[in-house]
């Protein structure tokens, strides 16, 4: 195995005939893996984030031009996971904020941390979510059927050898170390291949350098070469919709928007329940995680290769489709459709998941998950709460004195900021800040105060 991805602990899982033998081998390997990593990492890996807090590192001391992208295979079941490295790539752009190298927002189901190997100093971190994290709550994962998903870690290109540590939240929302590896930036196995070089880029909005702006890239999926004019028109329309909604409208000058005119062999995207499979470049498909309206891509490598043509902080993949559907995963990507009466709403709603880590505030629709939010555990998402401590409400500073907590769901309080029961796919036990919100209902009437504050905070993270 190349030195560039030397693992402190190596695991081999053998797939033999019959699911029981595979699962026994899988769990045994995972147990050995986690115990060994706990010994390797020491107790510091299990300290709360506040105990590991430090001043922001100086970018020029630790990093140089471009980005390092580590492509990973993420495999497991509901209560066990392992990683394996696919490829490490040097990309031409890193669009992040060099003044915010340590992510202290405590968002996401996972976080990765970059340590300078020689000094053991934390020089970068970023919280994120994954398809694996959602899939782990499905019936299939709970039944013990393992699956593998592809994902990427992207960070500024380091000057020196670094240790990369991935942590995942347990059911109590505590981060636990699950994978460690070492990367030498001078290793010749790191590829610099320029993929999809023929796709052209169009600047939709340019307000300043990537280091001080939120950089949104939009990738078309299911648009043939003859339909690129439609893609441009669709994107222009959705960008206008996005920046007509607060707080995006007031913060428009903090964004850059670029379109990559990616070309598919066929129009549209996959729709498995209708036995429709398209030759679409970004791999979008309805019926993700067995939910018909959920539209995701399992072609992460292709999506990242296309997006690497430009600096980006967030990715929207736009499907050339009429059918209602979409998806959004924090710091992975958001997806939307082009030709539906709710297409503008979907674009804004799903970007809320991807960009700001917002939770769904609805509680009546069917979802793919089981026990997504365990009772008695405060969700990490900024716009919902389990209300375990009413005196420490996440958005308490927005609540007017005298407003009852929990807040009655009657017309008296429809215009109040409060704590309304029903959120996060549950009618009881989870609460939202307002009667209605873009994260709850199919309209563009506005984000609730908690969501607005979370979006503003994320914009500041990338720009201030």
Q: Of 178, 267, 259, 184, which Cα lies nearest the Cα of 225?
A: 267
pLDDT score at 368: 64
Q: Is 52 helix (H, G, I), strand (E, B) or coil?
A: helix
389-410 exposure pattern, b = at least 16 Cβ within 10 A, e = fewer: eeeebbbeebbeeeeeeebeee
Q: How far is CA 226 from the centre of its chain?
A: 32
Q: How far is CA 247 from the centre of its chain?
A: 20
Q: Are 383 and 361 in contact (CB under 8 A)?
A: yes
242 token code pair: 């996005």
> What counts of helices (H) and strands (E) characterise the chain?
8, 17
Is CATH 3.40.390.10 correct for 358-366+379-388+400-464? yes
Neighbours of 56 (CB within 10 A): 13
Q: Are 288 and 306 in contact (CB under 8 A)?
A: no
Q: Which CATH superfamily includes the segment(s) 200-356?
A: Collagenase (Catalytic Domain) (3.40.390.10)
Every domain of the chain and the residues it spans: 3-183, 200-356, 358-366+379-388+400-464
30 token code pair: 């995972």
Q: Are 419 and 433 in contact (CB under 8 A)?
A: yes
372 token code pair: 């997504």
Q: Do domains 3-183 and 358-366+379-388+400-464 have the same CATH topology?
A: no
pLDDT score at 366: 66
457 token code pair: 């905070």
Residue-wise pLDDT tens for the chain (464 aa)? 334 444 433 332 322 323 333 334 444 444 434 434 443 444 333 334 443 445 899 999 999 999 999 999 999 999 999 999 999 999 999 999 999 999 999 999 999 999 999 999 999 999 999 999 999 999 999 999 999 999 999 999 999 999 999 999 998 999 999 999 999 999 999 999 999 999 999 999 999 999 999 999 999 999 999 999 999 999 999 999 999 999 999 999 999 999 999 999 999 999 999 999 999 999 999 999 999 999 999 999 999 999 999 999 999 999 999 999 999 999 999 999 999 999 999 999 999 999 999 999 998 766 766 678 999 999 999 999 999 999 999 999 999 999 999 999 989 999 999 999 999 999 999 999 999 999 999 999 999 999 999 999 999 999 99
pLDDT score at 106: 97
User: Using one digit for the tens of pLDDT, what is the confidence trace for 101-159?
Assistant: 999 999 999 999 999 999 999 999 999 999 999 999 999 999 999 999 999 999 999 99
Q: Looking at domain 3-183, which of 2.60.40.60, 2.60.40.3250, 3.40.50.300, 3.40.50.11540 is its CATH number?
A: 2.60.40.3250
In which region does residue 328 sit, left (phi positive, over 0), alpha (psi from -120 to 50) or beta (all else)? beta
User: Using one digit for the tens of pLDDT, what is the confidence trace for 439-453?
Assistant: 999 999 999 999 999
For 255-311, give the DSSP string. EEEEEEE---SSSS-BBGGGTB----TT-EESSGGG-TTB-EES-HHHHHHHHTTS-
pLDDT score at 372: 81
211 exposed, middle or buried (CB, 10 Å; 0-12, 13-18, 19+)? middle
Q: How far is CA 422 from the centre of its chain?
A: 24
pLDDT score at 55: 84
pLDDT score at 17: 29
Alpha carbons 190 and 184: distance in angstroms, whole number: 9
Q: What are the residue ranges of helices labelled H in 71-203? A: 131-135, 139-142
Alpha carbons 451 and 432: distance in angstroms, whole number: 10
């Amino acid at each position: 195995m190349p030195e560039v991805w030397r693992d402190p602990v190596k695991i081999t899982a053998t797939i033999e005939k019959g699911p029981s033998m595979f699962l026994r081998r899988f769990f045994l390997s995972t147990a050995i893996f986690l115990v060994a990593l706990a010994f390797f990492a020491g107790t510091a890996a299990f300290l709360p984030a506040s105990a590991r807090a430090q001043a922001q590192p100086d970018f020029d001391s630790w990093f140089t031009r471009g980005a390092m992208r580590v492509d990973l295979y993420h495999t497991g079941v509901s209560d066990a996971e392992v990683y394996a490295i696919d490829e490490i790539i040097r990309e031409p752009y890193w669009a992040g904020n060099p003044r915010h190298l340590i992510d202290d927002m405590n968002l996401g189901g996972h976080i990765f941390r970059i340590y300078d190997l020689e000094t053991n100093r934390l020089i970068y971190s970023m919280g994120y979510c994954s398809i694996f994290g959602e899939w782990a709550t499905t019936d299939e994962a709970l039944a013990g059927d393992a699956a593998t998903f592809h994902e990427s870690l992207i960070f500024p290109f380091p000057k020196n050898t670094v240790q990369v540590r991935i942590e995942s939240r347990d059911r109590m929302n505590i981060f636990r170390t699950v994978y460690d590896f070492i990367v030498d930036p001078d290793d010749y196995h790191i590829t610099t291949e320029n993929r999809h070089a023929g796709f052209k880029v169009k600047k939709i909005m340019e307000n300043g350098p990537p280091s001080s702006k939120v950089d949104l890239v939009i990738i078309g999926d299911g648009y043939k070469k003859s339909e690129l004019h439609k893609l441009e028109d669709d994107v222009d329309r959705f960008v206008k919709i996005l920046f007509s909604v607060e707080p995006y409208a007031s913060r428009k000058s903090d964004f850059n928007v670029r379109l990559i005119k990616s070309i598919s062999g066929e129009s549209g995207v996959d729709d498995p329940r209708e036995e429709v499979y398209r030759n679409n470049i970004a791999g979008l498909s309805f019926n993700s995680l067995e939910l018909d309206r959920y539209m995701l891509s399992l072609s992460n490598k292709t999506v990242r290769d296309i997006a690497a043509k430009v600096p980006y902080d967030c990715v929207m993949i736009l499907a050339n489709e009429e059918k209602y559907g979409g998806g959004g995963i924090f710091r992975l990507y958001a997806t939307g459709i082009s030709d539906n009466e709710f297409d503008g709403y979907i674009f804004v709603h799903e970007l809320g998941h991807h960009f700001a880590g917002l939770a769904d505030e609805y509680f009546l629709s069917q979802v793919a998950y089981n026990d997504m939010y365990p009772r008695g555990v405060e969700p990490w998402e900024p716009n919902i709460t389990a209300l375990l401590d009413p005196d420490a409400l996440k958005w308490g500073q927005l609540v007017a004195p005298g407003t009852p907590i929990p807040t009655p769901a009657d017309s008296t309080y429809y215009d109040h900021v409060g704590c309304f029961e029903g959120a996060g796919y549950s009618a009881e036990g989870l609460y939202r800040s307002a009667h209605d919100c873009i994260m709850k209902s199919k309209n563009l009437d506005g984000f609730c105060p908690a969501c607005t504050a979370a979006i503003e905070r994320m914009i500041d993270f990338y720009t201030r």
